[in-house]
Amino acid sequence: MKLLTWNLNGYRAVQKKGLEQILSLIDAQIACFQETKAQPDQIEMDEYLYPYTYINSAVKKGYSGTMIASLEPAEKVVYGLGIEELDQEGRVITAYFKDFALVTVYTPNSQNALKRLDFRQQWDEAFAAYCKSIDRPVLICGDMNIARTPLDIWDEKDGIGAAGYSLEERNNFENYLMDDFVDLFRELYPEKRQYSWWNYKTRGRDRNEGWRIDYWLASKELLPKVRSVQILDDVFGSDHCPVLLDIDLDF
């Protein structure tokens, strides 16, 4: 089974750039999206490409939002974490399938001068606890707004003390998630330097000055089933690129 994750930075914007043609070429059985910036009635998906779509939009229009598109229906779908103050921005969807649960997440950014760090820390703890409570093997994907190590950022000096590379955020990621889940790209490629996000404002993609902040995590028991993880940095349309997981699972 192939599963895709992609922060679109605006579903409608990427749709105008050929989203469905790109998805058709990648040919994943499930596609997960973050930062859709759209309400359900603003999202159109070719039903022949993905007949089942699950959408979690932010209360604030044009902001945040997540989506899962699938060839087969989920057994159950849960929207959010079940915590009202954390569920206003449409940041999580969990789709349950026969042998696994799939969580897509758009983790809050701590913003300039870490002014939203307190909210981010509350989120990190609650999200990890939620994922650990799921009663079957778990795949977690999405924009997690964290570069784990110096290998995941083009210039460590660019990130010191900044949102997505602060010590607090990196410690939370390791302490809350890495005891129970595996970073699949880094597990397969312990020394590889490849990025999934580039700053539009500085034209970072032109020079490959990027960060790896888009992930596939998995419960440890799923690791033997993983065939490959690919950062598709030749796919354009967003300031992020897709990340494709190939794993020996079925609906």
pLDDT at 158: 85
Among candidate residues 143, 152, 183, 239, the one labeled active-site is: 143
Residue 44 has pLDDT above 90, yes or no: yes
Structure-block tokens of residue 216:
């596939």
pLDDT at 142: 98
Q: Which residue reads 């307190």 in tokens?
A: 118
Q: What is the mean pLDDT of the chain?
A: 97
Among candidate residues 50, 54, 106, 215, the one labeled active-site is: 106
pTM beyond 0.95: yes
The stretch 185-203 carries a mean pLDDT of 97
Residue 39 has pLDDT above 90, yes or no: yes
Q: Which residue reads 């703890």 in tokens?
A: 125
Q: Cβ contacts of residue 188 below 8 Å, gap of 6+?
A: 226, 228, 229
Q: Give the C-alpha separation, 133 to 209, whole Å.
A: 37
Give the Cα-Cα-Cα angle 162, 10, 23 (nearest 5 degrees). Answer: 110
The stretch 38-49 carries a mean pLDDT of 96
Q: Residue 82: which pLDDT band, with cuts at 50, 70 and 90?
A: very high
Q: Give the C-alpha separation, 160 to 81, whole Å.
A: 30
Contact of 207 with 246, CB cutoff 8 Å: no
Q: Tell me, yes or no, if 130 is annotated catalytic.
A: no
Among residues 165, 80, 162, 177, the alpha carbon closest in space to that of 125 is found at 177
Q: Tell me, yes or no, if 106 is annotated catalytic.
A: yes
Residue 246 has pLDDT above 90, yes or no: yes
